[in-house]
């Protein structure tokens, strides 16, 4: 327990400053945590993530050695390493990260798409990643944005920046089509159309709130 000498109030939790005047508190009596200690849980998760990282590095080292000894034409150890890395990112970013849930969902999805592209190249590159995985991933993120907007109806306009970002992402496979890397553009065009119409629908249906949000985000008067 702590006490503020200015406000003459007693504080039951473990904060070091007064919530009223921000003065440094004086300790009076030691008490147990009045609320669940989130820091203890985070420390446990951080310890688990470090143990996992060590085990993953050790196991991946063994797999690299086996891959080299087998003289395989495919570097499958890179695929296992990416899998270990993604699980570690789930620990550090999704569980221990301070970002909002919408950023976590979208960023982890984009990381997964990038890893699938790497796996395609490692396994001999057949083009399935750029032709199908990237546009399908963009469609999945767009669907996730729609679900998050429905769940968070009061703050739906905050997802407009992510919609713009997904339009930019959906232009990437289109550019790859023009340079000859993407050979089946149907899904690419569908992904681009969905991203564009999702943004346009939000702007049109959202009306004034949507315009205000865009002006606020891009500092336009």
- Whether residues 19 and 121 share a domain: the answer is no
- Among 74, 98, 122, identify where a domain stops: 98
- Whether residues 161 and 218 share a domain: the answer is yes
Query: What is the pLDDT tens value at each position of the chain, 221 positions in all?
Result: 677 777 777 777 667 777 766 677 776 655 444 445 556 667 777 788 889 889 999 999 999 999 988 877 788 888 899 889 888 888 787 777 766 666 777 788 888 888 888 888 888 888 899 999 999 989 998 998 898 888 888 878 888 888 999 999 999 999 999 999 899 999 999 999 999 999 999 999 888 888 888 888 777 66
Minimal CA–CA distance to 138: which of 146, 181, 183, 94? 146
- Whether residues 120 and 188 share a domain: the answer is yes
What's the confidence (pLDDT) of residue 195? 94
- Whether residues 78 and 105 share a domain: the answer is no
Contact criterion met (CB below 8 Å) for 199 and 163: yes
- Whether residues 85 and 109 share a domain: the answer is no
The DSSP annotation for 184-212 comes to: --HHHHHHHHHHHHHHHHHHHHHHHHHHH
- Whether residues 187 and 115 share a domain: the answer is yes
- Whether residues 104 and 93 share a domain: the answer is no
Phi, psi of 91 (to 5 degrees): -65, -55
What's the confidence (pLDDT) of residue 187? 94
What's the confidence (pLDDT) of residue 131? 93
Residue 111 tokens, joined: 């990381």
- Whether residues 197 and 209 share a domain: the answer is yes
- Whether residues 151 and 196 share a domain: the answer is yes
- Whether residues 41 and 22 share a domain: the answer is no
Task: For residue range 159-179, list pLDDT tens digits in order.
Answer: 888 899 999 999 999 999 999
Contact criterion met (CB below 8 Å) for 128 and 163: no
Helix (H, G, I), strand (E, B) or coil at 121: helix
Domain with 6, as residue range(s), is 1-35
Number of domains present in the structure of the chain = 3
What's the confidence (pLDDT) of residue 168? 93
Minimal CA–CA distance to 89: which of 74, 108, 110, 103? 108
Minimal CA–CA distance to 75: which of 125, 133, 130, 131? 125
- Whether residues 4 and 69 share a domain: the answer is no
Residue 104 tokens, joined: 């976590």
Minimal CA–CA distance to 183: which of 139, 138, 132? 132
- Whether residues 220 and 121 share a domain: the answer is yes
């Amino acid at each position: 327990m702590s006490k503020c000498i200015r406000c003459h109030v007693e504080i039951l939790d473990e904060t070091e400053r007064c919530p009223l005047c921000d003065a440094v508190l004086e300790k009076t009596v030691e008490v147990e945590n009045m609320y669940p200690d989130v820091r203890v849980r985070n420390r446990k998760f951080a310890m688990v993530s470090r143990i996992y990282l060590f085990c993953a590095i050790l196991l991946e080292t063994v797999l690299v050695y086996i891959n080299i000894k087998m003289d395989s034409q495919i570097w499958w150890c890179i695929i296992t390493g990416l899998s270990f890395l993604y699980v570690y990112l789930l620990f550090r970013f999704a569980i221990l990260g301070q970002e909002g849930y919408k950023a976590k969902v979208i960023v982890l999805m984009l990381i997964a798409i990038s890893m699938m592209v790497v796996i395609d190249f490692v396994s001999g590159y057949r083009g399935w990643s750029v032709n199908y995985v990237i546009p399908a991933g963009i469609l999945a993120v767009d669907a996730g944005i729609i679900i998050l907007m429905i769940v968070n109806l009061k703050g739906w306009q905050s997802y407009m920046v992510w919609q713009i970002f997904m339009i930019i992402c959906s232009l990437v496979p289109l550019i790859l089509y023009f340079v000859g890397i993407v050979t089946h553009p149907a899904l690419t065009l569908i992904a681009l159309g969905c991203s564009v119409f999702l943004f346009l629908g939000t702007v049109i249906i959202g009306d004034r709130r949507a315009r205000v949000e865009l002006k606020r985000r891009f500092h336009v008067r």
